[in-house]
Structure 1
Amino acid sequence: MQSLSPRLVFFGLAILALASMLFAYYYLQQHLGLAPCPLCMTQRVAVVAGGLFALLAALHNPPGWGRRLYAGLCVLAAAFGTAVAGRHVWLQHLPEDQVPACGPSLEYMLETLPFAETVSMVLMGDGNCAETQWTFLGLSIPEQTLLLFLAILLVSLWQLFRARPAA
């Protein structure tokens, strides 16, 4: 049996990232009117970064260490996204009296605070991030995103460590 070509796997990851972003923007944000919180925006950055790395890998289609390098970049993006989504899920499951206070908007923080402080505040999350605005099959958006990142992470790790495919 012939194994999947690395190029097809990378294209699949890129298409998955694109579909995820189209769903988030056009359905959740535009159609349902759900405004993304700072942690949601950070997760979107991770999805886009992983998708871009996968697209570059598919277009470049390098053999050997090049495939592993691109797969490693996809692993890093997915691992970062997994950590942020995990923190978001954790915030959503805190008891109401332990939820942090709501903070300023991301735009305000970017305009008024130093970048490092903005990043720190965004990654900590706030009360806005603890709200569950929409669910599908009983899973909140961050829970769905966490599953997406875990799937991307597993496929990327497989790309990183799998034996060289037969030509």
Structure 2
Amino acid sequence: ESMNNPVSKTRLTEMYDNLKLLQWPKVKDQLKSRKRNPKEAKDLIQKTFGNASDEMKRRRQQIEEMFQQSESSSGPTPQKVKEYRQLTVQNLQMALFHTNKEELLKEVKEDLRPLTSECYWLSCLMALNNPPLQPDWKNHVPGFDSW
């Protein structure tokens, strides 16, 4: 794993930890001051991660289907096709990394948009990792995010 890669597994884990440990408490305080429902925010975050992951699975599948068609025609060896397929996914991941996060989700309520945009963006990057990464909601530290 290259430490220069901004979307390496290590960097993605660091970005997720930053989101969870630094950004979420700030947003949580803002929501508390506005008397927002904590369950609504938590559900929205989990839904956002799930939606982004599902969208990236669909995109990966489209890439797989495209390269399967290429494999049947005469051309590069299967190993080369596999390499190019992985490079295509990595290029998609890098393109998303450099995308303006705010442009990804515009339909979310304004006070939650920065956090949900960050969650969607990070989840896309995590889902495109090889192997894909996903938050472990079931084994989340109890009480860590208590309101």
TM-score (norm 1): 0.32
Q: Which has the higher helix share?
A: 1
TM-score (norm 2): 0.35
